[in-house]
């Protein structure tokens, strides 16, 4: 590898050599075992090499990814006939509910625990050792490097795709396995079902030779003896592996009903502790997955199909999902638990996706033109999708949250989806699952393809918190997923857009709001965000306040494709909101300067142009300035925006001037008056039934707990303790308030709550809280 890691820094390495070879499709075949807290099985990678990669000269050196200068040791198990198609005796067949899979792999003769024997063989034999410095030792083999962490890799082998019945129709040379894979990946989009069918068949084909492999802290390295270039390297490989209970990509915990569950937590290391993959965003791939678990569990996943379980023997079920839109592997999401589907008590007419006549100002974004992305079955090419205001959606949660979901969440989904469609047009994804995740989830929400995680904290209070957070995650379908950042340091391209659009969507979703009321509501939220940004800038390192930290090197990678994400492993970064807030204020500034009609008309055009692609800041800004009249952009240039907003720390000067000149909006004045009124009222002695008080406070628990801490109201400390354990998405900040009070009893309360919760917290949250407390 050609990147050097400094153990003292908090940077995240992306090790995959994506400049040489790309994974185009993954096929996962996994078993979830809650007793051992392990996910185990196989993943088949279908690879594509670039035409420009020629045979290396003998002087070429492949740098070892490990931190030491010792030779890399590649493991090569002795030839054996361990089956690779399935991990349990009940999993001998794969079936897809939208198409039939009839391919046959090797028969499983290893018994129920056969893959444990496989680990013993893989770890116990090391018959070949190769040095990474191929120049000194005469070896010129190509090295495939995958991002991998906290995984036990048991076996790697080439897949004999030529053995699949019927595969000969893809090539005139049926013995050339790489040619078969190339032809399969090149199938036109209208044959996507057939393509997925043959991917599944190929994934179950027998192996035709084990490959040398080794792992270090951050990567899995694979080579084949004699394969000197990416073109020579096998283009279909199968990796048998298992996760580790302490792996950082998923968390094993209990839901609000006390039942076991596991889900991807949006870890800083993304999915490399769930499966070996190429993490850099340029590695756009599709995937399909078969996941087996006990029949009492529901498997939810990033997938275009609303999967239903297939019952297997021994009390297990199998779930199958697929995705045909290429996206970074980091967007893959899975959640397995005893979830219950929540349905409204009565069917509302708003739940039905209906067509309506469009106003002249909206009609132009229904135009179906040529897409600029790589070929896939795109919804923007479907006229029926352009009129679908409300996509099919489901809500899942533990059964104990049924009432809260029906009262708060379910009624909001149709108007929020419809509002998003009215602003941006075609929904990029065909369906949406929403899951209320366990209490240890450290955020209020997380969006992935076809699925959104929401914290249970969003279900408390009035509809405002739930509605705005739902709108935020829906906005990510366009910005963050359908359009992604090519350089992960430019987080504002995802979070800034989602924060700005959440206000716009929510204003439209509240159909009872008059235009001036919606405007005042947005102004009030801007005031609150302004105060939050000021506070964040005062209390965070300057280097972490910059939205485009790599400046002119943004988007650059090493010759191999590897790179480093600055501060990507800093636990505090997860809780920083600078990229949300500064991005929001930049977009708000541009919308005001250009006029909202002009800005959102452009935004729809931008979405149509760049969906399915990765962008940098300049892609957005250049297109914006090119598409607006010159008289509407005085003193606006890409360079000026970079300088003032994206490449400097602190408060941007244009924002500083705007806020100083801005009078407090009418709604903010009303809020200030209301606060003053309640301060006076609270000074009077009052009698109120305890039950009424609890019902009120239950709706605003986070604010109530802040007041308890501020006023040292010891009688209600149990409310704080319950909040810190049940609402971890909002409780992190409360630990800071407890410690800053310098009150021994409050500090003891904080430490006791942390000890009760730390085992369930994700690693970043636990590190941040521990730093506050000790």
Q: How far is CA 589 from CA 500, 519, 576, 585, in A?
A: 11, 15, 21, 6
- What is the distance between the terminal CA atoms of the chain, rounded to a whole angstrom? 38
Residue 732, token pair as written in the block? 């992190």
Q: How many CB atoms lie within 10 A of CB 583?
A: 27
Asked if 194 is an active-site residue, the reply is: no
Half-sphere exposure of 142 (CA within 13 A, CB side): 21
CA 580, 773, 568 angle in degrees (round to 5)? 35
**Residue linked to tokens 């600029």:** 372
**Nearest Cα residue to 707 out of 716, 696, 694:** 716
Counting Cα atoms < 13 Å in the Cβ hemisphere of 128 gives: 17
CA Rg value for the chain = 27
Which token pair is 594?
A: 């250009």
SS3 424: helix
- Ramachandran area for residue 39 (φ above 0: left; ψ -120 to 50: alpha; else beta): beta
Cα(621)–Cα(638) distance, rounded to whole angstroms? 6
Ranges assigned E (strand) in 420-478: 432-436, 445-448, 451-454
For residue 715, what are the contacts with CB-CB under 8 A and spacing of at least 6?
none
Q: Starting at the earlier edge strand, list the strands of the sheet with 143-147.
A: 143-147, 219-223, 212-215
Three-state DSSP state, 719: helix
User: Apex CA 491: angle with CA 485 and CA 496, to 5°?
Assistant: 105
Given the residues 279, 304, 473, 495, select the one marked as catalytic: 473
Nearest-angstrom CA–CA distance, 68 and 386: 55
The DSSP letter of residue 315 is G
| Cβ–Cβ under 8 Å, residues 549 and 489 | yes
695 Cβ neighbours under 8 A, 6+ residues apart: none
Report strand pairing: 432-436 vs 340-342: unpaired
Q: How far apart are CA 320 and CA 30, in angstroms?
A: 11
Task: Return the bridge partners of 250, or none.
Answer: 264
C-alpha 572/C-alpha 51 separation (Å) is 42
Distance CA 674, CA 676 (A): 5
Distances (CA, A) of 625 to 101, 452, 629, 638: 50, 33, 8, 8
The sign one gets for the Cα dihedral 243, 248, 249, 251 is positive
Looking up tokens 């033109």 gives 369
Distance of alpha carbon 166 from alpha carbon 164, whole angstroms? 6
DSSP 287-304: EEEEEEEETT-EEEES-S
Q: How many CB atoms lie within 10 A of CB 116?
A: 14
Question: Phi first, then psi: what are they for 387, rounded to 5°?
Answer: -100, 5
Q: Which of 138, 142, 158 is nearest to 46 (CA)?
A: 158
At 32, which helix (H) or strand (E)?
Answer: strand 21-33
Length of the chain: 774
Tokens of 406: 């029906």
Each residue of 642-678: b (16+ CB within 10 Å) or e?
bebbbbbbebbebbeebbeeeeebebbeeeeeeeeee
Hey, what are 527's tokens? 């005031």
Catalytic residue IDs: 473
């Amino acid at each position: 590898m050609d990147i050097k890691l400094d153990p003292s820094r908090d940077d995240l390495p992306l090790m995959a050599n994506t400049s040489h070879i790309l994974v185009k499709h993954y096929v996962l075949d996994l078993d979830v075992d809650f007793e051992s807290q392990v996910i185990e099985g196989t993943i088949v990678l279908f690879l594509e090499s670039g035409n420009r990669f020629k045979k290396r000269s003998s002087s070429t050196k492949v740098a070892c990814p490990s931190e030491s200068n010792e030779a890399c040791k590649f493991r090569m198990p002795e030839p054996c006939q361990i089956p690779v198609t399935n991990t349990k005796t009940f999993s001998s067949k794969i079936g897809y509910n939208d198409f039939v899979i009839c391919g046959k792999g090797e028969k499983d003769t290893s018994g129920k625990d056969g893959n444990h024997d496989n680990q013993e063989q893989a770890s116990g034999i090391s018959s070949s050792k190769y040095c990474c410095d191929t120049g000194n030792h005469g070896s010129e083999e190509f090295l495939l490097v995958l991002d991998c962490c906290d995984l036990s890799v048991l076996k790697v082998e080439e897949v004999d795709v030529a053995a699949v019945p019927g595969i000969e129709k893809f090539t005139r040379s049926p013995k050339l396995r790489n040619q078969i894979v190339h032809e399969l990946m090149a199938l036109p989009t209208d044959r996507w079902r057939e393509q997925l069918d043959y991917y599944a068949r190929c994934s179950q084909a027998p192996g035709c030779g084990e490959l040398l492999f080794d792992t270090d802290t951050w990567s899995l390295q694979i080579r084949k003896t004699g394969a000197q270039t990416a073109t020579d390297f096998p283009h279909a490989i199968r990796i048998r592996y298992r996760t580790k209970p302490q792996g950082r990509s998923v968390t094993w915990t209990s839901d609000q009903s006390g039942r076991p569950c596991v889900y991807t937590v949006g870890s800083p290391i993304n999915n490399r502790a769930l499966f070996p993959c190429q993490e850099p965003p340029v590695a756009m791939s599709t995937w399909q997955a078969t996941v087996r678990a006990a029949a009492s569990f529901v498997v939810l996943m990033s997938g275009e199909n609303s999967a239903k379980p297939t019952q297997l023997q021994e009390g297990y079920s199998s779930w199958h999902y697929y995705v045909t839109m290429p996206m970074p592997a980091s967007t893959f999401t899975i959640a397995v638990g005893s979830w219950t589907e929540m349905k409204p008590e009565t069917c509302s007419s708003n739940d039905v996706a209906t067509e309506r006549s469009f106003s002249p100002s909206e009609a132009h974004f229904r135009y179906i033109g040529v897409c600029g992305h790589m070929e896939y079955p795109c919804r923007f090419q479907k006229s029926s999708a352009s009129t679908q205001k409300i996509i099919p959606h489901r809500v899942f949660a533990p059964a104990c949250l049924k009432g809260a979901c029906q009262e708060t969440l379910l009624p909001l989904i149709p108007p929020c989806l419809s509002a998003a469609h009215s602003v941006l047009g075609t929904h990029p994804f065909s369906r949406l699952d929403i899951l209320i995740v366990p209490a240890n989830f450290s955020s209020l929400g997380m969006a992935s393809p076809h699925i959104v995680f929401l914290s249970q904290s969003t279900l408390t209070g009035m509809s405002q918190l739930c509605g705005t957070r739902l709108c935020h995650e829906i906005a990510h379908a366009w910005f963050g997923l359908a359009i992604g950042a090519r350089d992960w340091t430019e987080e504002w391209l995802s979070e800034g857009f989602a924060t700005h659009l959440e206000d716009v969507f929510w204003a439209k979703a509240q159909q009872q709001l008059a235009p001036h009321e919606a405007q005042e509501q947005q102004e009030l939220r801007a005031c609150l965000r302004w105060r939050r940004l000021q506070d964040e800038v005062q209390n965070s390192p300057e280097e972490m306040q910059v939205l485009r930290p790599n400046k002119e090197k943004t988007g650059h990678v090493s010759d191999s494709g590897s790179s480093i994400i600055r501060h990507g492993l800093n636990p505090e970064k997860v809780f920083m909101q600078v990229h949300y807030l500064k991005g929001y204020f930049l977009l708000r500034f541009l919308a005001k300067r250009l006029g909202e009609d002009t800005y959102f008309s452009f935004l729809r055009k931008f979405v149509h142009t760049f969906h399915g692609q990765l962008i940098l800041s300049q892609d957005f800004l250049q297109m914006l300035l090119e598409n607006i009249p010159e008289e509407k952009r005085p003193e606006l240039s890409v360079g000026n925006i970079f300088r003032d907003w994206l490449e400097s720390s602190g408060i941007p000067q244009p924002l500083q001037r705007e806020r100083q000149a801005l009078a407090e909006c009418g709604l903010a004045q009303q809020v200030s008056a209301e606060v003053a009124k309640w301060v006076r009222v609270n000074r009077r002695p009052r009698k109120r039934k305890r039950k009424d008080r609890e019902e009120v406070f239950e709706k605003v628990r986070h604010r109530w707990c802040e007041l308890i801490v501020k006023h040292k109201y010891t009688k209600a400390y149990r409310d704080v303790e319950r909040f810190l354990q049940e609402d971890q998405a909002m409780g992190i900040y409360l630990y800071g308030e407890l410690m800053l009070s310098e009150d021994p009893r409050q500090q003891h309360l904080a430490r006791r709550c942390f000890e009760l919760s730390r085992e369930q917290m994700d690693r970043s949250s636990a590190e941040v809280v521990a730093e506050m407390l000790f």
